[in-house]
Amino acid sequence: MNKNRVYHRSVAVLGAAVWVLGSAPSVFASDNSSTVLPAEGNVVCNDYAANDVILSMDTRSPDASGQLTGPENPADADASGESASYTITDGTTLSFSDSTTPIDYVVIKSGRDVSVAMYPSGGVTDDGNLTVTVDGMDETISAFSLCYGLGNEAPPPPPPLTTKSCDLDSVLDATGIECPADGSRALVCNFELDDPFFGTADGSDTCCVCNNAALPECDPGVPAGEPNACPDSVGSKVGVEVPTLIELNNDPYYCFTVRGSRVCYPY
C-alpha cells in the first residue's frame, strides 16, 4: 500500500444501507458529532462509505471498557496501525478516546436499531454520550464500529492573536505614538468613540506595547506556568493587585476601575 497516498473523499451513502425510522420515535445523542443519523441493519462502516476508502476498528461483543485496534490509515504519517480506548457505561452509553487517527463516523448497534454519528471534516479523536435511544429509553449497545480513513481535511486553526509591538510600527490606527525613551514598557490603546464596538471588532489594530516584543494571546483559565497560561510561573511584578478595568459604553461614557474604585466620564 502506498503510504503517500492521501484520500479526499466525502462520505457516500450506498444502497446497501437503508435508513428507516420505525414506528417508534428514536433519539440519538453525542457530544462531538455534527449530525446523528437513525438507521437499521448492520454495524459495518462500509455500509455508509465507499469500500476502497473506509477503514474500521470494531467489536461485535463489547466489554464495559477496552481497546480497539485497526489497520493503518494510509493518510497518517506513521505506519504503526491504529487504536482507540472505549468505555460503555451501564451497557448503553459509549465513549471513546485516545484514537491514534481521526474518526470520521461511528456506527452503534442495538438489535435492529443503529445510529450513525457523523463528525465534522477532519474527524475527532474522542467522543462521549453515544447512545441508541428508542421511545426515551437507552438501548443496550450490542456492537459498534469506529470508522476512519476518509482523509477529509479539517480547516486550519485561526492564527493566534497578538498585541503588536509599538516599536515595530509607531502608528496605531493613524494616531501617532511616542514610546517612553527610558525603555520602560507601556501598553498604548486607541478606541474610536464613534465606530461600532469602538473600532475593536473590525480587525484593525487597537493596542500596541512599547519597548517590548509582540504579546501573544493567552488563556486566563490555564494555571500559571502551563502552556498558554496568562501569568508566567515567575512574574516581574511583586505583590497582589486587584484587576484594573476599562469600560466603554454606548450611553456614552467610559469608566476606570482601579484598586476597587470606579470613576466614569461622559463623552
pTM of the entire predicted model: 0.52
Domain-embedded: residue 123: yes
Q: Which of 87, 114, 148 is the last residue of a domain?
A: 148
Domain-embedded: residue 263: no
Task: Note down the domain range covering 125.
Answer: 26-148
Q: Please list the pLDDT of the chain residue by residue as tens digits (267 residues).
A: 333 333 333 333 322 232 333 333 344 568 888 788 777 778 889 888 888 889 999 999 999 999 999 999 988 777 788 999 999 999 999 999 999 999 999 999 998 888 899 999 889 999 999 998 888 788 999 999 999 999 877 667 677 788 888 876 555 666 777 788 898 988 888 888 888 888 887 666 688 888 888 888 888 777 777 778 877 655 555 556 677 888 888 888 989 888 788 899 998
Q: Which of 113, 129, 148 is the last residue of a domain?
A: 148
State how far the Cα of 259 lies from the Cα of 10, in Å rounded to an integer. Answer: 57
State how far the Cα of 10 lies from the Cα of 75, in Å rounded to an integer. Answer: 14
176-190 pLDDT per residue, tens: 777 888 989 888 888
The answer to whether the bond into 156 is cis (omega within 30° of 0) is no
Domain co-membership, 30 together with 119: yes
Domain-embedded: residue 229: no
Total tally of structural domains belonging to the chain: 2
State how far the Cα of 103 lies from the Cα of 146, in Å rounded to an integer. Answer: 6
The amino acid occupying position 193 is: L
205-214 pLDDT per residue, tens: 688 888 888 8
